[in-house]
Every structure is written in C-alpha cells, then in structure tokens.
Chains A and B, each alone.
Chain A
Amino acid sequence: MSELKPTQNIHEYLAEFDDIPGTRVYTAARARKGYWINQFAMSLMKAENRERFKANERAYIDEWNISEEGKQALLARDYNRLLDLGGNVYFLSKLFSTDGFSFAEAVSTMTDMTFPEYQDMMKKGGRSPQGNRSIKGGY
C-alpha cells in the first residue's frame, strides 16, 4: 500500500481552477448550470434531430429548458458564452458537426485569432504555456 495522503478539501481544490487564464474548467457547478444546453447538443447526434434543428433552429431550441440567454448564445454560436453558461466542448462539438465545422475551426472561434492564424500557431508548436499558467502568479 502506498502512503496515505489526507483528502483534499473540495473548496480549495475548486478555487484554484479560477486562476487559470482563458479556461473554464467543467466543474459540477457548470455541469448543473449547463445541463440542458449539453443535453440539447447531445440530441444532435441523431440525424432526424439535426434535420429538425436545421429546418427551424429557434423552434427546436425552444423545446428545451434553456434560458433565453443560453438560446441566444446557441443561435449566435457564441462558444465562450456557452462555456460560461455551463456548456462543455465535447457536447458543443455536436453543434460543430451539425454546422459542418471541423473541431479545430470551431475551437479557433473561442480565441482572438482567425482560423488560418490559429492553424499557423499550431503548426509552429501551439500556444506557449509561458505566461498562461496562472492569472495571479503571471507565469
């Protein structure tokens, strides 16, 4: 048996997540808030639902228990806003595929870059962790 470590305090554990620049960690609080956004996105796995959604996006979204703010963010494909509202990227990716976007292109819309700029950054080794690890620490 390995050495026993004391159980980590959940409040301290969660508080650290807010110190990461440009990142929304998918915590239980976000999962609860975004439950119906994510379950809506999941429904787009079925071809018949994709067709109904494409035929009338607003009408399809109105079938779900999502706030007006969430509905507007979905219609606008405002992915950073959707992350704030508890959306998770693996669920939201069902919307990427419905729109015919690649994962990388959809992801690039959450950054301050165009897709070609984002692709260029990735080819050159990606975004550096330098200065991107901690808001408070600035390292």
Chain B
Amino acid sequence: MARITAGIGSSHVPLLGVAVDQGKTRDEYFSPIFAGYDWTRDWEKQQKPDVVILVYNDHASFFDMKIVPTFAIGCAERFGICDEGWGPRPVPDVEGHPDLAWHIAQSLILDEFDMTIVNEMDVDHGLTVPLSMMFDTPKTWPTKVIPLAVNVVTYPVPSGNRCWALGEAIRRAVESFPEDLNVQIWGTGGMSHQLQGPRAGLLNREWDNKFLDMLVGDSDAARWIPHIEYLRETGSEGIEMVMWLIMRGALGKKTRCLHRHYHIPCSNTAIGHIVLEPEA
C-alpha cells in the first residue's frame, strides 16, 4: 500500500532558483536562507521518497488567462521546464508518476473533487525551486513528482477549508493505491509577501510564525482562516499559504514537527520552511 510519510512546507521564491543556478547559495545574502534547509537535505537522503505530490502555483508561465483551473493534477510521464522570460532554469526535467497520478485523479473525482487533468505541461519556479531547495543540483531529480497546480492568482481562489479537505481526500486516494510507495506531499509558496501596488513589500513575521505553529499538533484552526485575513495580514501574495493546507490536510489529525526555519527577507518575500510527519 502507498502511504504519505511526511509533509514539507516551503517558500518557492524565484530568486532562490537564481542563487542555486549561479552558485551563490553560501554568499552573505543567501547563506542564512539555505542554512535552514541543510537539515532537510540530509533527511531527504535517508527518506528517499518514491513520489512527491508537489502542490504549487503556476505564475503565468504555462497557464495564461485562457484557462484557469482551480485544482489541476499533472498526469504526464515527464514535465518540461518553463522559460519564464529569463530562459529556462538549467535543471533536469521532472519525471512524473502517471499510474499514481491517474489513480489519485480518479479517486478524487469519485470523492467529489472535480479535478482538471493535465497530460502535457511545463512547470515553473513554483515547482522547481522547492526541488532545488530539498535536493540541491542533481543530474536527475531523485524522486518522481506529481504536480498539483492551484489557482491562487485569480479570485476567488479556493478556500482554506477546501484545500484542507482536498488534502484529506488525497490521503485516502494514496492509501488505496496497491503498490508499496513512500509518498511525500509538499505545500509551497508564501510566506508573507506583496508584489504589487503602494503596499508592496509588506512582511509579517508574527503572523507567519503563528501560521507555522498552527500546522503542528492536532488543531485544524488554520483551515478556517478567511482569505481577507491572509490579504490584510500577509500581503496580496501571502494567499499562496492556502496551498500549505493541502499538505497539512493530507497528514491526518495530528502532526509532529521535525524541522522549522524562518528568514526575512528574500527579495520581496518572507521565507518559511517546515517538515512535518503524521502522528497516530
């Protein structure tokens, strides 16, 4: 039986990808950010996940305004790397797991989550930056990946409660897959940041840390945070944090924190990172 063994939350700021690609991860600016991921990189070498369900958002890279899926699951064998205007990141293509992806897609639809199925897709920094943070610069990624793209750009975006419930349904789907697979789920994006308008640059260390606290233990209070609270407290792009709730929902009633990291700033953004495991 496949099982979800751990969850990771992480920011996916594009500048982190630039730092990796240009070998600057240990310079004065980036060192405190990357040092907070050292623990996780070592831990992943022992965990060796077979598949990562990677929850992220596309930033007008593959999807434009023609089609705006709320929840899209990537079922392809392979995903290419988007050119986001500065040329594609020099990272390996991402290998999918179509058997598990299709199994999850079918199970979710029966479970009343009407997913968009994507059979050809390139992925942007939202997906590749977390891979670089957790696995550094390998020739091929050491895990297969099921991309799960969430609309967090055009409002209304899905509610926190809906995201959490989707995570719960993903857990049920994974546990009904017959093959013995070690599956992780990652929620990415955030933490506080605003990239637009006169209020740009807003960061909120206190709120972000309260949010990290809420992911640990048996509370499900975070699923009820309304969109307006993310917008007021964490900036217009802080809403990406709803994607962390899909990860949290998939870990079951109770979690244990294995590792946690927070740093301000990276470009316009607060960096947050957490490693959780389900606790019976």
What secondary structure prevails in chain B residues at the interface with A? Answer: loop
Cβ–Cβ contact B154 & A31, under 8 A = yes
Q: How far is the CA of A132 from the CA of B236 in the complex (A)?
A: 12
Q: How far is the CA of A111 from the CA of B194 in the complex (A)?
A: 11
Which bucket holds chain A's interface residue count?
A: 35 or more
Cβ–Cβ contact A83 & B205, under 8 A = no
71-128 of chain A: CB within 8 A of chain B = 79-80, 83, 88-91, 93-94, 96-98, 102-104, 107-108, 110-112, 118, 121-123, 125-128
> B138 contacts which chain A residues (CB < 8 A)?
none
> Is B273's beta carbon under 8 Å from chain A?
no
> Is B198's beta carbon under 8 Å from chain A?
yes
Cβ–Cβ contact B154 & A28, under 8 A = yes
> Is B260's beta carbon under 8 Å from chain A?
no
Q: How far is the CA of A77 from the CA of B67 in the complex (A)?
A: 26
Cβ–Cβ contact B156 & A13, under 8 A = yes
44-92 of chain B: CB within 8 A of chain A = 59-61, 64-66, 83-86
A95 to B: closest C-beta gap in Å: 9
Q: Which residues of B contact A (CB under 8 A)?
A: 14-15, 59-61, 64-66, 83-86, 153-156, 159, 161, 164-165, 192, 194-205, 207, 220, 223, 227-228, 231-233, 235-236, 264-265, 267-268, 270
Q: Which residues of A contact B (CB under 8 A)?
A: 2, 5, 8, 10, 13-14, 16-17, 20-28, 31, 35, 38-39, 41-42, 44-45, 79-80, 83, 88-91, 93-94, 96-98, 102-104, 107-108, 110-112, 118, 121-123, 125-129, 132-134
**Interface contacts beyond A38-B60, A127-B202: sample of 18 additional A-B pairs, CB < 8 Å, sorted by A:** A13-B156, A17-B231, A20-B232, A22-B200, A23-B235, A39-B66, A91-B65, A93-B60, A103-B195, A107-B196, A108-B200, A111-B198, A122-B267, A125-B205, A126-B270, A129-B233, A133-B233, A134-B232
